[in-house]
Amino acid sequence: MAVGFRRKNLAIYLALLLVLMSLPLHALELVPEFDEENIVLRFAAISDTHFTSGANKFEEALKQLYQKAGENNLDAILVAGDLTDSGSPAEMKAVKASLDKFSVKEKGTKFVFALGNHDTNFDALPFNGEIFKKELGDYVYEGATEDEIRNGNHHIVINGYHFIALNTKKYNGGCEHANEDLNWLKTKLDEAIKDSPNKPIFVATHPLVYDTVYGSKEGTYWYSKNLNDVLKDYPQVITFGGHLHSPLNDERTIFQRDFTSLNTASVYYASLESEVDGIVPIELDGGSPRNKSYFSQGLYLEVDNKNNVRITRMDFFNEAEIKEPWIVLAPKEDKSHLKFYTTEARTKNNKAPYFPNDAYINIRRVAKKKLDIEFITALDDDLVYTYEVHLLIKETGLPAGSTYAITLSDFYLTPDPKDMDKKVFRAFSTDNFGLANKEFDPNEDYLIKIVAIDSFGLKSKPIYSDPTYVE
């Protein structure tokens, strides 16, 4: 009997060991604790609602967030800028109408927001906080001084946790925070630390903090370079930035170094990096994919009674959650809570994408101005971000033009990477390959080479339209 019992336990142990061995190493390392039974704060962090055009998507987001939290359990809605399209009173009235429709105030949900470049009408109205207060009334700037309202800054404590919304008054010619606002921020951070040194501090500002999350090196209009100097001394901080409308499906939308940074995506529409290795993806038009409207995302956050933060990525358009939640541990004096979402931690055991054995490329049509292909997509331990598509002369193996094309995967439209398209069709122009004579030759024997790339830049081995081809 004892022998049988030991054998049964051994079998269970070995089965568990096999499961653990099958997990990627980064999954074994990133298992912070979160106390599901003792949640003390629930809030949404969203951005770029762009009223009035984005009103319907904002209301859909609110519906799903209240469903997630429980109808009367959403403690706050934190917006990282661009509530409106141009900062007009009419747009503000539309925001208020949506908040009224969902009885936000009656449910006890605090509404905290940072002004964005659209809210200040592209630098024309840097002190537009006064008009937002006038139109939104008791919804905004609770407890703020007249000077704070004028400057568009807000500090509020909700369930014992400090929330700070910081205005950015200058975008044109290079985004930066004004010295008076940075000094105000430092004062409020010091107040929060004095009050609760072991609690996270939530800071929303519209632009991204330079050299942190996805898109934070995209250009000087999109990031603030003078915010790091203040925040680097406050490891308790979790920042929220929008502005670029970047998808939360990409793991680079969370980052840790001296503090934690989060990208809040966009409720209204998607944008992506304007270039990949210096090449504009064929799907982009002005930085946004042509199917940008099939998108609406944001964050839902919970804090437990030990100050750990669980972050759920919400896909409002698909009514789904994106992958697994991120967990940011309670602030530690030695900053050990900041080790999980560094670039080094995320790339340490990252594996390159690969094409399945049955992968193929089919050249469907070659016309003078257009080339159509289909191909089987690659697999990855997370997701495939983009593909390099090379047009070669089959006889020589040399490029037909001066460059290659970049095409996006459908990662930003798909909450679960396992559901990404298995086969795709793409159409290319002569400009995509830099053809000197601006025409494809329908009589030429072309060879297509495709390489898959993941979010952190690892590349697959190539596949070819002629499977017998050897480079």
Structure confidence at residue 32 (pLDDT): 63
Give the model confidence (pLDDT) of 294-317 as tens digits. 999 999 999 999 999 999 999 999
pLDDT classification of 107: cutoffs 50, 70, 90: very high
Please say whether the beta carbons of 245 and 269 come within 8 A: yes
Q: Is the peptide bond before 253 cis (omega within 30 degrees of 0)?
A: no
Give the model confidence (pLDDT) of 206-234 as tens digits. 999 999 999 999 999 999 999 999 999 99
Q: How far apart are CA 272 and CA 287, in angstroms?
A: 6
Q: How far apart are CA 302 and CA 312, in angstroms?
A: 8
Percentage of residues in the chain having pLDDT higher than 90:
92
pTM (predicted TM-score): 0.93
Mean pLDDT of the chain: 94
pLDDT for 280 beyond 70: yes
pLDDT classification of 13: cutoffs 50, 70, 90: very low
Structure confidence at residue 33 (pLDDT): 85
Q: Which of 286, 454, 312, 293 is nearest to 384 (CA)?
A: 454
Structure confidence at residue 31 (pLDDT): 52
Give the model confidence (pLDDT) of 344-363 as tens digits. 999 999 999 999 999 999 99
Q: How far apart are CA 455 and CA 251, in angstroms?
A: 7
Give the model confidence (pLDDT) of 238-273 as tens digits. 999 999 999 999 999 999 999 999 999 999 999 999
Q: How far apart are CA 411 and CA 121, in angstroms?
A: 32
Q: How far apart are CA 53 and CA 51, in angstroms?
A: 5
pLDDT for 163 beyond 90: yes
b/e code 326-360 from CB counts within 10 Å (16+ = b): bbbbbbeeeeebbebbeeeebeeebebbbbeeebe
pLDDT for 30 beyond 80: no
Q: State how far the alpha carbon of 261 is from the alpha carbons of 51, 95, 216, 277, 356, in Å.
A: 26, 27, 10, 24, 35
pLDDT for 3 beyond 50: no
Structure confidence at residue 471 (pLDDT): 82
pLDDT classification of 71: cutoffs 50, 70, 90: confident
